[in-house]
């Protein structure tokens, strides 16, 4: 996933779409909006980041799961098999992005990039509703994909790179 921070206006449509699409209980979320103010008055700048599980290549959450409920599915999506999760919280503690939460039904939940939609050839719900089209989804390994082209054309960054997790969500500057 590639997110253009110059286009994101912090509207939270992505958050609501995710909650609705994935039946996320009220008071919980799989994604959220962060607001960053930089500079000194009167020269301030503001940007927003829509954040979620970074579907890392090096997954501390998966390594710490004692049951294997947290795993990497084919295609690189990090998932939790709910009926195998014992709710111990090891994965929550291991995630440097705070991208997991305890579902009221007793398991850990997180973003899945709406893999059920991907199977139908659709974008994740968050991407499909974004009014500014700041979110882009595709195959980072395909040099011809839109996301790969965006990363080649624009300066970009990942959040918390020092964690060494090799996140798969990139933010365009």
Q: Rounded CA gap, 54 and 165, in Å? A: 9
Number of helices (H), then strands (E), belonging to the chain: the values are 6, 10
Q: Name the token pair of 12.
A: 């939270």
CATH class of the region 2-172 = alpha beta
- Nearest Cα neighbor of 20 from 118, 102, 128, 99 is 128
pTM score, whole prediction: 0.92
Task: Determine the pLDDT at residue 88.
Answer: 97
101-132 residue pLDDT tens: 999 999 999 999 999 999 999 999 999 999 99
């Amino acid at each position: 996933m590639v997110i253009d921070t110059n286009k994101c206006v912090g509207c939270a449509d992505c958050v609501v779409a995710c909650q609705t699409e994935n039946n996320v209980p009220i008071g919980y979320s799989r994604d959220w909006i962060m607001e960053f103010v930089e500079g000194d008055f009167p020269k301030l700048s503001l940007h927003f980041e829509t954040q979620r599980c970074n579907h890392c290549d090096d997954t501390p959450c998966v390594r710490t799961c004692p049951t294997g409920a947290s795993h990497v599915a084919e295609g690189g999506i990090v998932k939790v098999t709910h009926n195998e999760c014992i709710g111990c919280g090891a994965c929550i503690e291991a995630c440097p992005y705070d991208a997991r939460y305890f579902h009221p039904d007793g398991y850990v939940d997180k973003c899945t990039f709406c893999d059920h939609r991907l199977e139908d050839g659709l974008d994740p719900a968050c991407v499909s509703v974004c009014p500014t089209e700041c979110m882009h989804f595709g195959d980072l390994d395909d040099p011809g994909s839109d996301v790969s082209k965006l990363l080649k054309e624009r300066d970009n960054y990942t959040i918390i790179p020092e964690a060494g997790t090799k996140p798969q969500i990139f933010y365009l500057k």
